[in-house]
Amino acid sequence: MSHATRDASGNRPANALATETSPYLLQHAHNPVDWHPWGPAALALARTTGKPILLSIGYSACHWCHVMAHESFEDAATAQVMNELFVNIKVDREERPDLDRIYQLAHQMLTQRGGGWPLTMFLTHDDQRPFFGGTYFPDKPRHGMPAFVQVIQRVAQYYREQASEMRQQNDALMTAFAAMTPPVELDRDLTDQPLAAGRQQLAEQFDKHYGGFGSAPKFPHPGSIEFLLQQWYTTAATPEPDLHALYMSTLTLTRMAEGGLYDQLGGGFARYSVDDYWMIPHFEKMLYDNAALLASYADAYLATSEPLFGRIAGDTADWLIRDMQSPAGGFYSSYDADSEGHEGTFYVWDQQVVRALLPAADYAVFSRRFGLDRDANFEGRWHLHVCRTLDDIAAELSCEVHTVTAQLESARQRLLGVRNERVWPARDDKVLTSWNALAIRALARAARALRRDDLMVAADRAIDFLVSTVWRDSRLLATYKDGKAHLNAYLDDYAFLADALLELLQLRWRESDALMLQQLCDTLLAQFEDREHGGFFFTSNDHETLIHRAKSLSDDATPSGNGIAAQVLLRTGYLLGETRYLVAAERALRAAWRALEKYPQAHVSLLTALREQLSPPEIIILRGQPTATQAWQRELALVYAPHRMSFAIPADAADLAPALASKTVRASTAAYICRGTQCSAPIESLTELVRATRLRLAEN
């Protein structure tokens, strides 16, 4: 199997991007544009020449980034104008999310429109303040947009002739940045009001026909799905269980699994759907989407025992390991939407080709299941999505359901083998710490829900890879590729990895991982906490100084770093008895309170932390011989209990904190059930432990 790379450069000489690690930057290393990576050299060049900066931000799997590159950046005439008028800087938004966050927000302020990629921003030469921006610009005027060359010529003229007006706009923009942090009421009581409001807002946005939230383009929103599952769980034993929360989450998971958003042959999910019913996706596959969705499907399977959810979780995990995990253990970042110059080419089929590849009986089943007996749905070809149930197909063909299932699997494997011989989409093979952490967390959750030790092994390989490459002197680096780890890590790297370690430690206790968890939490407080107002900055105290130091609270394509940090600090604080962590988590929630009150549905990570702040998670400490404690732990894992953690700690393990040292073993095995700072007397039989946890489950 081969993986395509993008380089339409011919024999052009390389520019300053040629020594970078980012596959996205390397795709532009032979453009005629005199590109520079963001850094001291490029910024000094702008100051020396007095030329404004043309900042272009994108990523490897971005379809419109490739379109703009082909139309403009590979064009010699356009490049000549760019080189004459600007210092041109390329940024991979996945390696530099700090820059992307700042300039996406600036774009929104300047244009009063949403951003996206490619992001095209124009900055002052001396202090990198933005004064104009846009996203994709075509090479020729169309769709009401001017040609890119026209844009850059006008921008350069404006920069020369309207300096005073531009500086006034800069000052207003910086004032707006400064006003983004609202006043914090650190003495305000925390209540469950945002939880109820968030659930109501999600219900109002819910698509009752096809699942999901909002309309096309429709994104998966796995955080919202998990929040609703947890909402149902917290009410399940009450007289009025929130069955609609369960319905919203499970219908969404079902419709996504049946749709073309899901790769029906190879497993894994595309980025988003361009329609309301999940049929046609934007075909790029991102590690972070699949990690989050794997965890959601694993949780839903544990909560409902629905076989579909278990199958999708298992197949998505298999895809992650097969197609995304490097031989060394780290996970790659993404697959492109395009191959052979067109979006979706790798995934779609011609009806006659499929008919020729499959036995007649298999084709009869496969075509009915995935719509090949209907009109083409993607530019004259077929993108697979579920059209009929197995029961309906079996009835129509007068056969048993198990026969239909076997024929579908046979056809799927045959077509997958053929598809693997096609030209693959380009793969971005850099390893990002934060996204790998999301994958490790998901594999650990799925290993418990599906009872698959191979998923734990894959997660262990990934954590060991990160420890050996990006973990240095109790600090993280953000990215790794081809033997080089670099870039100061961000809040998400620390918070997500700490969260992943909490999940892994519930599969097997490893002292080195427990120590690393503690060190990550300590660094969160030392390097990222806003000591004055609470919450956490996206960049560390010793990070490069930029025009704005963001403190992002809302979830976007990935969970909020503040939300996950608050969750991790609460859970680890109770586990280790570390009050510093608990205080920092509560301060983060207070810092975010106004946002939680106003837009709760956009902050589900923080809502989850709020839920556990108000009702601390249940922590079960198992001490004794590994064989016995692990057996007890497997029994506990049979039940969906999202606000419970269990740790099987060997009797001879080194204790990290007095809270663990006090959990001693009098018999061969003992369990302690803790809620907040209160723990039960030791429980010395599995039967008694199961009875006690079931009673507590009913109380929740």
Please work out, in degrees rounded to the nearest 5, the angle formed at the alpha carbon of residue 149 by the alpha carbons of 143 and 154. 100
Most distant pair of Cα atoms in the chain: their distance: 83
Residue carrying structure tokens 């699997």: 409
CB 588 within 8 A of CB 565: yes
DSSP 331: B
**H or E segment and range at residue 484:** strand 484-488
Average model confidence (pLDDT) for the chain?
94
DSSP conformation letters of 341-370: TEETTTT-B-HHHHHHHS-HHHHHHHHHHH
Domains 16-178 and 194-339+428-614 share a fold: no
The CA distance from 116 to 102, in Å, is 13
Q: Which of 255, 260, 111, 81 is nearest to 173 (CA)?
A: 111
What is the C-alpha separation between 269 and 285, in angstroms, rounded?
6
Helix axes 222-235, 193-205, angle to 10 degrees: 120
Task: Report the pLDDT averaged over residues 163-177.
Answer: 90
Cα gap 681→425, rounded to integer Å: 57
Region 166-181: what's the mean pLDDT?
87
Q: Answer whether 199's CB lies under 8 Å from 231's CB.
A: yes
- The residue behind tokens 């109501």 is 200
Q: Is the pLDDT of residue 668 over 90?
A: no
Task: Assign domain 194-339+428-614 to its CATH architecture.
Answer: Alpha/alpha barrel (1.50)
For the chain, the domains span 16-178, 194-339+428-614, 347-421, 618-699
Give per-residue pLDDT as tens, 98-111: 999 999 999 999 99
The whole-number average pLDDT for the span 466-488 is 97
Q: What pLDDT is attached to residue 2? A: 45
Q: What are phi and psi of 647, to 5 degrees?
A: -130, 120
Q: Does domain 347-421 have CATH number 1.10.10?
A: yes
Name the CATH superfamily housing domain 16-178: Glutaredoxin (3.40.30.10)
- pLDDT over 90 (residue 428): yes
Percent of the chain with pLDDT over 70: 96
CA distances from 646 to 315, 347, 512, 660, 700 (A): 26, 41, 18, 13, 17
Q: How many helices (H) and strands (E) does the chain have?
A: 27, 20
Q: Choose between 149 and 4: higher pLDDT.
A: 149
Here the tokens at position 163 are 């300096």
Q: What percent of the chain has pLDDT over 90?
A: 87
| pLDDT value of position 12 | 74
DSSP helix, strand, coil percent of the chain (3-state; round to 5): 50, 15, 35
For residue 656, pLDDT beyond 80: no
| Predicted confidence (pLDDT) per residue in 300-315, tens digit | 999 999 999 999 999 9
Spell out the residues 6+ positions from residue 498 whose beta carbon is closer than 8 angstroms to its own.
517, 520, 521, 524, 565, 568, 572
Distance of CA 557 to the CA centre of its chain: 6
Dist CA 566 CA 286 (whole Å): 25
CB 52 within 8 A of CB 159: yes
pLDDT (tens digit per residue) in 493-541? 999 999 999 999 999 999 999 999 999 999 999 999 999 999 999 999 9
Q: 325: helix, coil or strand?
A: strand
Predicted model pTM = 0.95
Lowest mean pLDDT among 404-413, 596-605, 660-669: 660-669
Contacts of 352 (CB under 8 A, 6+ apart): none
Residue 506 near residue 647 (C-beta atoms within 8 A): yes
| DSSP string for residues in 126-154 | TT--EEEEES---SS-BTTB--HHHHHHH
Query: Which range has the worst mean pLDDT, 88-97, 477-486, 642-651?
Result: 642-651
CATH 3.40.30 fits 618-699, yes or no: yes
Show the DSSP H helices in 56-144 as ranges.
63-68, 76-85, 97-111
Residue 147 CA, chain-centre distance (Å), reads 34
pLDDT, one tens digit per residue, over 245-274 is 999 999 999 999 999 999 999 999 999 999
Nearest to 109 by CA among 132, 86, 81, 139: 132
DSSP secondary-structure letter at 285? E
User: Is residue 94 a contact partner of residue 333, using CB atoms and an 8 Å limit?
Assistant: yes
In terms of Cα–Cα distance, which of 470, 605, 591 is closest to 195? 605
Structure token pair of residue 286: 């991102």
200, 300, 513 from 232: Cα distances, Å: 13, 11, 32
pLDDT band per the 50, 70, 90 thresholds, residue 1? very low
What is the spatial distance between Cα 408 and Cα 370, in angstroms, rounded to a whole number? Answer: 10
Count of C-beta atoms within a 10 Å radius of residue 472? 10
Model pLDDT, residue 660: 75
